[in-house]
Chains A and B, each alone.
Chain A
Amino acid sequence: MFAQTFVNGLLLGGVYGVATIGFSMVWGVMGIINLAHGAYIMMGAYFSYMLASRLGIDPFVSMPLVMAALFCVGFTVQHLLLNPVMRTSVLLTLAMTFGLELFLVDLFVALFTSDIRSVNTSYSSQALAVGPVLISYVRLAAALLSLTLAAFLYLVLTRTRLGQAILATALDREAARLMGIFPERIYNYTAGIGAALAGAAGSLASTLFPISPGLGNSFIGAVFVITVLGGIGSVTGAVAAGFVYALIQSFAASYLGVNYQEIVAFGLFLAILIVRPQGLFGKRFFGEV
Chain B
Amino acid sequence: MSLLRVEKLDLRYGDSQVLWAIDLAVEEGRISALVGANGAGKTTLMRAIAGLVRPSAGRISFGGEDLARVPAETRVRRGIALVPEGRRLFAGLSVRENLMLGAHVRTDRSAVADDLSKIFALFPELEKLSGQIAGTMSGGQQQMCAVGRALMARPRLLLIDEMSLGLAPVVVDRIAMALKSVNAEDGITMLLVEQDVELALEIASHATVMDTGRVVLDGPSTALIDDPKIREAYMGLAA
Which of A's residues lie within 8 Å of B, judged by CB?
Answer: 161, 164-165, 167-168, 171-172, 174-182, 285-289
In the bound complex, do residue A168 and residue B72 qualify as a contact, i.e. CB atoms below 8 Å apart? no
Give the number of residues in B that approach A within 8 Å (Cβ atoms). 26
The segment from B95-103, B193-201, B231-239 found at the interface with A is B95-103
Minimum CB distance partner of B136 in chain A: A287
B11 CB, nearest partner CB in chain A, Å: 17
Contact B88 A180 (CB under 8 A): no
**Interface residue B82 (Cβ < 8 Å from any Cβ of A):** yes
Q: Quick check: which of B17-25, B73-81, B210-218, B220-228 contacts chain A, the rest being far away? A: B73-81
Assess whether B77 is in contact with A180, with CB atoms less than 8 Å apart. Answer: yes
Q: Is the CB of A171 within 8 A of B104?
A: no
* B188 close to chain A: CB less than 8 A: no
Does the CB pair B133–A287 fall under 8 Å? yes
Known: A161-B104, A165-B104, A287-B133. A177 touches B72 (CB 8 A): yes
Contact with A along B89-133 (1 / 0, CB 8 A): 111110001001110110000000000000000000000000001
The answer to whether A168 and B101 touch across the interface, beta carbons within 8 angstroms, is yes
Give the residue name and chain of the B residue nearest to A233 (CB).
B92
**CB within 8 A of A174: which of B76, B81, B88, B100?**
B88
Pull 14 A–B residue pairs with CB atoms less than 8 Å apart, ordered by A: A164-B97, A164-B101, A165-B101, A171-B91, A175-B84, A175-B89, A177-B72, A178-B72, A179-B76, A179-B104, A180-B73, A180-B153, A286-B92, A287-B133
Known contacts A177-B72, A178-B50, A180-B77; is-contact A172 B88 (Cβ 8 Å):
yes
Contact assessment for B88 and A177 in the assembled complex, using a CB-CB cutoff below 8 Å: no
User: Could you say which residues of chain B place their CB within 8 Å of the CB of A178?
Assistant: 50, 52, 72, 76, 81-82, 84, 88
Decide if A179 touches B102 in the complex (CB within 8 Å).
yes
**What are the residues of chain B within 8 A of A180 when measuring CB–CB?**
73-74, 76-77, 104-105, 153
Cβ contact within 8 Å between B72 and A287: no
Q: Is B135 an interface residue (CB 8 A)?
A: yes
Task: Tell me, rounded to whole Å, the shortest Cβ–Cβ distance linking A75 to chain B.
Answer: 19
Q: Which B residues fall within an 8 A CB radius of A?
A: 50, 52, 72-74, 76-77, 81-82, 84, 88-93, 97, 100-102, 104-105, 133, 135, 149, 153
Closest beta carbon of chain B to A170's beta carbon, Å: 9
CB distance from A81 to the nearest CB of B (A): 22
Tell me how far the C-beta of A188 lies from the nearest C-beta in chain B, rounded to whole angstroms. Answer: 14
In the bound complex, do residue A287 and residue B91 qualify as a contact, i.e. CB atoms below 8 Å apart?
A: yes
* Closest-CB distance, A237 to chain B (whole angstroms): 13
The 10 A-B pairs at the shortest CB distance, nearest first, are namely: A287-B92, A180-B105, A180-B76, A286-B92, A175-B88, A171-B90, A179-B104, A177-B72, A288-B92, A179-B101
Is there contact, CB below 8 Å, between A164 and B91?
no
Judge whether B88 and A168 touch: CB under 8 Å: no
How far is A167 from B93 in the complex, measured between Cα atoms in Å? 8
> What separation, in Å, do the CA atoms of A165 and B101 have in the docked complex?
7
Collect the chain A residues with CB atoms within 8 Å of residue B102's CB.
179
Bound CA–CA A167/B88 (angstroms): 14
Chain B residues whose C-beta falls within 8 Å of the C-beta of A288 in the assembled complex = 91-92
Distance in Å: Cβ of A111 to nearest Cβ of chain B: 40
* B72 surroundings in chain A (CB, below 8 A): 177-178
Establish whether residues B76 and A285, one from each chain, have CB atoms under 8 Å apart when the complex forms: no
Contacts of B91 in A (CB 8 A): 171-172, 287-288
B73 touches A181 (CB 8 A): yes
Q: A174-B52, A174-B88 are in contact. Are A182 and B93 (CB under 8 A)?
A: no
B149 contacts across to A, CB distance below 8 A: 179
Pick the contact of B92: A161, A171, A176 (CB < 8 A): A171
With A164-B104, A177-B73 given, name 14 new contacts (CB 8 A): A164-B97, A167-B90, A171-B91, A176-B101, A177-B52, A178-B50, A178-B82, A179-B149, A179-B153, A180-B105, A181-B73, A181-B104, A285-B92, A287-B133
Nearest chain B CB to A69 CB, angstrom units: 30
Contacts of A165 in B (CB 8 A): 101, 104
Chain A residues positioned under 8 Å from B81 (CB to CB): 178
Q: Do B93 and A171 touch (CB < 8 A)?
A: yes
Residue of A168, A180, A181 most packed against chain B (CB within 10 A): A180
B90's partner among A168, A182, A289 (CB-CB below 8 A) is A168
Cβ of B1 to closest chain A Cβ, rounded Å: 25
For residue A287, which residue of chain B has the nearest CB?
A: B92
Closest beta carbon of chain A to B195's beta carbon, Å: 21
Question: What residues of B have a CB within 8 angstroms of the CB of A161 in the complex?
Answer: 104
CB neighbours (8 Å) of B82 from chain A are 178
- B133 to A, closest residue via Cβ: A287
A164 to B101, CA, bound (A): 7
Best-surrounded residue of B52, B100, B101, B135 (most CB of chain A within 10 A): B101
B90 & A175 in contact (Cβ 8 Å cutoff): yes
